[in-house]
Amino acid sequence: MPVATSQDNGYKYIKITPLHVKNGSALFFNSIITEFSDSWTPRWSPTNVYGRMDPMSFYSGTGRELTLGFRVISDDRYEASENMKKIQRLLQYQYPSYTYIDKSPILLAPPYFKFRFLNAVGGSKGFIEGYINGAIQINPGFQSKDQAQYFSSDVTDIDNKDKILFSDVNIVLRIQVLHDGTIGLDAASGHFTAPGEERYPYGVKQIKAQTAPAPATNNTKPGDTDGAVDTSNGPGDKKSQKAKAKKLELDRVFLSRKTITSMLTSKR
């Protein structure tokens, strides 16, 4: 599933923002989605007691976990260096933030993120919050002969001299979602209730099928305006139809009078 390039508005719909770093910059990846799975796990704790065939089970909550895989492809060494800079930053964000008191480091916050990917993760809010649970896989594709593996750095680039720049990298993230506020069903109405999540989890509203109106039928005979069906769409059409009907009526009266006059003239 290709994702829009940086020139398109859709580019910013794949977005990873660190929340544990003050003024941490968001990361955008121009990529192709290779893997996406969304799973919910209701958690029950069974306890076996004497005299019961079935355990007594206690509900503790429902968890949500996402797996998002994407492929970052670079067209040249310059784009490859930019993408590798983003990947490095993503990996740096997996460590906690610290504050210092008398030059002594004190852990301030663990790695925690906001994720945005179209409507697939955020419901009506457009984003989810959570942490990356498990290993982050960075696969440059060295084992595949079908993928260009890397670019050599420019000899004039002193900072990247003798370094390889990955041209095609597969990244897989496993995200543990942390729900915002109370989420569940209203016992009285049965409606789903959550802060800003009326269309949880994908933000989709049902599209009602639209059918064309049945065509109007007209069973009137030529010249008969009494049983005519009004198929007009507005005041202008109604006025036009009334004018036509009046003209037909006047023509019919004129023809009747002309016929009577000619009959009387012939008898004389």
Consecutive 10-residue averages of pLDDT for the chain (268 residues): 46 78 87 87 94 94 91 84 91 94 92 84 75 87 60 62 80 90 83 71 77 64 53 60 74 63 54
pTM of this prediction?
Answer: 0.65
Output the pLDDT for position 122: 66
Determine which helix (DSSP H) or strand (DSSP E) holds 174, and give its type and residue range: strand 168-177
Task: Give yes or no: residues 33 and 146 share one domain.
Answer: yes
Residues 129 and 243 in one domain: no
Q: What per-residue confidence (pLDDT) applies to 11? A: 44
Q: Using omega within 30 degrees of 0 as the cis cutoff, is the peptide bond preceding 201 cis?
A: yes
Residues 138 and 240 in one domain: no
Question: 267 and 162, same structural domain?
Answer: no
Domain shared by 183 and 240, yes or no: no
Residues 228 and 145 in one domain: no
Task: For tokens 């109007």, name the residue.
Answer: 216
In this structure, is residue 264 part of a structural domain?
Answer: yes
What is the pLDDT at residue 253?
Answer: 65
Residue 143 and residue 249 in one domain: no
Taking CB atoms within 8 Å and a gap of at least 24, the contacts of 195-200 are 196/123, 196/124, 196/125, 197/123, 197/124, 197/125, 198/124, 199/123, 199/124, 200/123, 200/124
Residue 228's SS3 state is coil
Asked, for residue 109, whether it belongs to a domain, the answer is yes
Shared-domain flag, residues 28 and 104: yes
Number of structural domains (the chain) is 2
Q: Which residue in 246, 258, 265, 16 sits closest to 131, CA to CA?
A: 16
Task: For residues 131 and 264, state if they share a domain.
Answer: no
Within a domain: 211? no
- Same domain for 188 and 110, yes or no, is yes
Q: Does a structural domain hold residue 203?
A: no
39 domain-assigned = yes
Task: Tell whether 83 is covered by a domain.
Answer: yes
- pLDDT of 226: 52
* Assigned domain for 182 exists: yes
How far is Cα 138 from Cα 135, in angstroms, rounded to an integer? Answer: 9
Report yes or no on 217 lying in a domain: no
The helix/strand/coil state of 170 is strand
Do 14 and 129 belong to one domain? Answer: yes
Domain residues for 181?
9-193
Does 120 lie in the same domain as 66?
yes
